[in-house]
Amino acid sequence: MESVILLAIAYLAGSAFSTLAEGTSSGGPFCPTSTGKQVYGYKQASERNKYFYLTVDAESTGSTTPTFLYMVGGPGGSSVAAALGVIGPCYLDVDNKTPQPNEFSWTKRARGIFIDGPGSVGFSEGQIEKTLDDYVKHMYNVLIQIVEDQPEFGQDLHLVGASFDALTASRLASTIVAERPASIGLRGVIVLNGVSGTIHRYDVRAKIGKESDFHPIRMGKVDRFFNRADFQAKLGVSRNPWHTVDEDAFLRFTKYHSVDISPGMNQALDAGLKVLVLSGSEDYTTNAVGLLSWAKSLKGVTNYGRELGRARKKTLKFEYGGVVGTIRSRKFSNNARFAFVEVEGAGHCPMNNNPSGLQQTVEAFFNGALWGS
């Protein structure tokens, strides 16, 4: 069977609960040089499941500092591991030991939430959920607990669903819109190379396993770092071996790859939220042509897709770093905002190919500048 994920898959054992305490750290184990407070530990997702999570405060905060919840995809990938990649405050050096300050971090001016699920993904503990609905419910339960503990993380929240987790983000957005929890002010959803199928996602310009040859930042292997005894001791966790992707979760949830995420996106737009669809021009799994065609099909109380299709394609360019790609965007009378961005020369993880451009694009999404306000 072919995998839709580039990361190596291996069996991840261990579902017994631990009683390890929650930790708080500024300049802590995920990024010693960051000034943003790092909080990590376990939250009870259900009677049988504890999810491991990490929150990272923005290095520069204000009265309107946004928050993003990043879901890495897979299914079964560790979102917490993404905090040591190109969107986190530090990325792992090629020595596999040293977190290096990341000038392109999304947490420069935004707060980040990273939650590992379903089941025993990453450092999380418990049985793998039987259904997608159970997984989304458990993500919602943990998110509520996090923002109740740290209210500042809930009031300007944006969901980011990469690859498979575009579906999770869509379902989670639907849950939040329906439940309307007072602790969460949902503002938008990013579909990052989402609506995936069951084929390789590899960048066709490179041999399989050599995609990083096209990345401006050369990074180490996160699994080696997360398996270090000293790193796990700092977190107060124990998992040997720790895997970037949980094979059991992947096998259990891969059947959901073909599920349409349109209902959740329509509901988000109907609720007056921002929706951004991002696609790398060189991604031949969730290719830009197919994603744009899907985006043009979205229809709720307004025909959002038709209006997006009528929007003129423009060059998306920032003062620092130059051209990112192209953008189509629309505003609607219910305050909903919809945009489609094709990232030039990027594959399935466009922030690896253009970290500066993606950093500025998501910041413009958070503050509304993608639509001129």
Q: Give the pLDDT confidence of 33-90 residue by residue, as tens digits.
A: 899 999 999 999 999 999 999 999 999 888 889 999 999 988 889 999 999 888 999 9
Look at residue 207 in the predicted model and tell me its pLDDT.
59
Half-sphere exposure of 361 (CA within 13 A, CB side): 33
User: CA-to-CA distance for 276 and 27, rounded, in angstroms?
Assistant: 32
Q: Which residues contact 370 (CB under 8 A, 6 or more apart)?
A: 276, 327, 329, 337, 339, 341, 361, 364
Pairing state between β 322-331 and 111-115: unpaired
Chain position carrying tokens 């399935």:
348
pLDDT score at 214: 60
Residue 321: CB atoms within 10 Å: 15
pLDDT at 27: 66
Cis peptide before 241 (omega within 30 of 0): yes
For 342, the enclosing helix (H) or strand (E) is strand 337-343
What sign does the dihedral 185-146-151-162 (CA atoms) show?
negative
Q: Which of 199, 351, 190, 207 is nearest to 286 (CA)?
A: 199
Please give the pLDDT value at position 4. Answer: 31
Closest CA to 345 of 299, 258, 295, 280: 280
What is the distance between the alpha carbons of residues 148 and 239, in angstroms, rounded to a whole number? 28
Give CATH superfamily name and number for 23-371: Alpha/Beta hydrolase fold, catalytic domain (3.40.50.1820)
CA distances from 349 to 80, 204, 318 (A): 16, 13, 20
Q: What is the pLDDT of residue 108?
A: 93
Query: 148: burial class by Cβ within 10 Å (0-12, 13-18, 19+)?
Result: middle
Which helix (H) or strand (E) covers residue 47, if one does? none
Side chain identity, residue 165: D
Compute the C-alpha angle 317/62/79, nearest 5°.
70
Helix, strand or coil, per DSSP, at residue 6: coil
Q: Which two tokens stand for residue 165?
A: 């987790």
Residue ranges for the chain with pLDDT beneath 70? 1-27, 195-219, 284-285, 373
What are the DSSP calls for 185-233, one per residue? -EEEEEEES-S--SS----TTS-TT-GGGG-SS----HHHHHT-HHHHH
Q: How far apart are CA 57 and CA 36, in angstroms?
A: 4
Q: What is the pLDDT of residues 278-325, one digit of tens each?
A: 988 887 667 788 888 889 999 999 999 999 999 999 999 998 878 999
